[in-house]
Structure 1
Amino acid sequence: MTRQHSATGRPRRLSVPRPSEPVPPPPADPPLYRALMHSWASQGRTLPGRHDPEWVRLAAPPVVRGQFNAPRVPPGAGR
């Protein structure tokens, strides 16, 4: 740890984070799980951890027609 003095003259401690330790790679999937994932992918099914456009579409909030249009101002109302 390093000590430095602040503008008031009081010492303050600066902590420097230790370098992070390397993270080991995750273990390989078991053969049964890999076979199941391959089977699901070949059938076009949703797979865990993969982007699913249908879910994104279904989970999106509904948009009402005209919801994001600018409000209409009648002629002569802004005068």
Structure 2
Amino acid sequence: MTPTYSATGRQRRIFVPRPAESAPPPQPQDPPIYRELMRAWADRGRALPGRQDPEWIRLAAPTVRRGQFSDPPVPPRDGR
């Protein structure tokens, strides 16, 4: 609260409400036609906005070669 003074010298207090607690804003719902389209895509196994796509994750994963993250192979004992 910040006191303010008028020209007559009287003190006035102005109350500014605190912002609402950190409650998330309500999420707008999708139109019915959009929900139906999302359902149809999901039924066919297609990628959906806002959801992880397992196929994309698999394709974008780095290729790990055999022995890349383990000890080097041990050479044969016969000296070859």
Aligned partner of residue 56 in structure 1, secondary structure: helix
In the alignment, structure 2 segments of 5+ residues that lack a partner are 1-18
The number of equivalent residue pairs is 58
Question: 1:51 Cα deviation (Å)?
Answer: 2.4
Residue 20 (structure 1) shift: 3.2
- TM-score w.r.t. structure 1 length? 0.58
TM-score normalised by L of structure 2: 0.57
Aligned alpha-carbon RMSD (Å): 2.4
- Mark the runs of 5 or more structure 1 residues left unpaired by the alignment: 1-17
- Contact preservation (8 Å) 2:38, 2:48: yes
Runs of 4+ in 1 over 6 A off after TM superposition: none
- What is the Cα deviation at residue 47 of structure 1? 1.1
Alignment of 1:15-54 (within 5 A): 20-54=21-55
| Partner AA of 1:47 in structure 2 | L
- Higher Rg of the two aligned structures: 2
Instruction: Give identity over the alignment, percent.
Output: 60
Which one is further off, 41-50 or 66-75?
66-75
**1:64/1:20 CA distance change after superposition, 3 Å:** same
